[in-house]
Amino acid sequence: MEDFWGHRGRLRAQYIQTGGKSFAAHNLLELLLFYAIPRRDTKNIAHALLKRFGDVSGVFNATVEELCQVKGISENSAVLIKLTAELGKRYCDNDMVDSVRFYTYDDIGGFLQDQYINVTKERVIALYLDNVGRLIKLGMVCDGGVNSARFDVRKIVADAIAADAGAVVVAHNHPSGSHIPSSDDLDATKMMKKVIESAGIEFVEHYVVASDGTCRLLEKCAEQGNVELRQYFKFDV
């Protein structure tokens, strides 16, 4: 038992001294699990998590139910892992926002593709911009897509007003891998344009993001003659 507590103490002290920079992924997971599993060796559990999900991203993207299928992981441990993942994402989002500015629609598309790496379920996100392309806020709107019962474009409007944003980009992904939009995607785009612009906020674009690329849906609607497409990137750079 002395070796057990001694190992935990040494690992914790090493982390405090180095900030974890020299730690392998399994060491970090092992240390994290100390706080949910107080009286068991967590090294083997950490290795089991990485074996099951491939890497830290895979572990963090797993659901609570999937995590609990790994021997030694209780619901408390799974919630701690998911909470750590969410806090880390929000830290990165906040840290990133201050330095991001878009100059072209392709800039936005590339940025959105990065946001959907390792996202395996349909998810709607919004980018809240000022009037010269700077990112004010990145927000997760809902899981389930623009046609799900949970999707509420009024939430996007409310968040834009709260952020004092002059413009909004909406995106959702196609986990199937194809960026080709459906008729429902195009109908949702027309609806969003109407609601967002009625609040005095510029609706820049609605993107579909998939592994084979991105598609600008507002541009598609304009090509069909259904909406007027205004050029957002008209400011001096």
Tell me the pLDDT tens digit for each residue of 117-127: 888 889 999 99
Least confident range of 15-24, 49-58, 103-112, 152-161: 15-24
Tokens of 34: 């100390």
Tokens of 77: 């441990």
The string of DSSP letters for the chain reads -HHHHHHHHHHHHHHHHHTTTT--HHHHHHHHHTTT-TTS--HHHHHHHHHHHSSHHHHHHS-HHHHTTSTT--HHHHHHHHHHHHHHHHHHHHHHHTT-B--SHHHHHHHHHHHTTT--S-EEEEEEE-TTSBEEEEEEEEES-TTSTT--HHHHHHHHHHTT-SEEEEEEE-TTS--PPPHHHHHHHHHHHHHHHHTT-EEEEEEEEETTEEEEHHHHHHHTTSS----S--S--
Q: Is 108 or 151 the better-scoring residue by pLDDT?
A: 108
CATH number assigned to the domain comprising residue 204 = 3.40.140.10
Least confident range of 86-90, 108-112, 209-213: 86-90
Read off the pLDDT of each residue in 150-169 and give the average, rounded to a whole number: 93
Domain presence at residue 236:
no
Q: Which of 171, 175, 178 is nearest to 192 (CA)?
A: 171
Read off the pLDDT of each residue in 1-6 and give the average, rounded to a whole number: 61
Going edge to edge, which strands form the sheet with 135-143? Answer: 135-143, 123-129, 167-173, 202-210, 213-216
Among 94, 128, 150, the domain boundary falls at 94
The confidence score (pLDDT) of residue 207 equals 97
Q: In angstroms, rounded to a whole number, what is the distance separating the alpha carbons of residues 192 and 38?
A: 49
Q: Are 86 and 107 within one domain? A: no
At residue 2 the predicted structure's pLDDT band, cuts being 50, 70 and 90, is very low
Q: Which domain holds residue 185?
A: 99-223
Q: How far apart are the first and last CA of the chain?
A: 64
Q: In angstroms, rounded to a whole number, what is the distance separating the alpha carbons of residues 209 and 105?
A: 13
Interval 24-72: pLDDT, tens? 899 999 999 998 888 788 999 999 999 999 998 889 989 999 999 999 9
Q: Is 23 or 128 the better-scoring residue by pLDDT?
A: 128
Q: Are 50 and 107 within one domain? A: no
Read off the pLDDT of each residue in 172-199 and give the average, rounded to a whole number: 93
The confidence score (pLDDT) of residue 93 equals 64
The total of other beta-carbon atoms located within 10 Å of residue 120's CB is 11
Q: Quick check: 159 pLDDT over 60?
A: yes
Q: Quick check: 236 pLDDT over 60?
A: no
Domain presence at residue 230:
no
Q: What is the pTM of this model?
A: 0.64
Q: Are 113 and 89 within one domain? A: no
CATH number assigned to the domain comprising residue 11 = 1.10.150.20
Q: How many domains does the chain have?
A: 2
Put residue 170 in one of left, alpha, beta given phi > 0 → left and psi -120 to 50 → alpha: beta
The residues, any chain, with a CB within 8 Å of residue 228's CB and separated by 6 or more, are 222
Q: Are 81 and 175 within one domain? A: no
At residue 1 the predicted structure's pLDDT band, cuts being 50, 70 and 90, is very low
Q: In angstroms, rounded to a whole number, what is the distance separating the alpha carbons of residues 227 and 175?
A: 27
The confidence score (pLDDT) of residue 220 equals 92
Q: Are 122 and 219 within one domain? A: yes
Among 47, 65, 94, the domain boundary falls at 94
Domain presence at residue 234:
no
Q: In angstroms, rounded to a whole number, what is the distance separating the alpha carbons of residues 83 and 151?
A: 23
Domain presence at residue 214:
yes
Q: Are 111 and 217 within one domain? A: yes
Q: Quick check: 116 pLDDT over 70?
A: yes
Domain presence at residue 218:
yes
Domain presence at residue 157:
yes
Mean pLDDT of the chain, nearest integer? 88
Among 60, 79, 94, the domain boundary falls at 94
Q: Are 128 and 28 within one domain? A: no
Domain presence at residue 235:
no
At residue 226 the predicted structure's pLDDT band, cuts being 50, 70 and 90, is confident
Q: Are 157 and 107 within one domain? A: yes
Domain presence at residue 172:
yes
Q: Quick check: 211 pLDDT over 70?
A: yes
Q: Are 8 and 52 within one domain? A: yes
Q: Are 55 and 163 within one domain? A: no
Read off the pLDDT of each residue in 159-176 and give the average, rounded to a whole number: 94
Q: Are 58 and 24 within one domain? A: yes
Put residue 117 in one of left, alpha, beta given phi > 0 → left and psi -120 to 50 → alpha: beta
Q: Are 44 and 105 within one domain? A: no
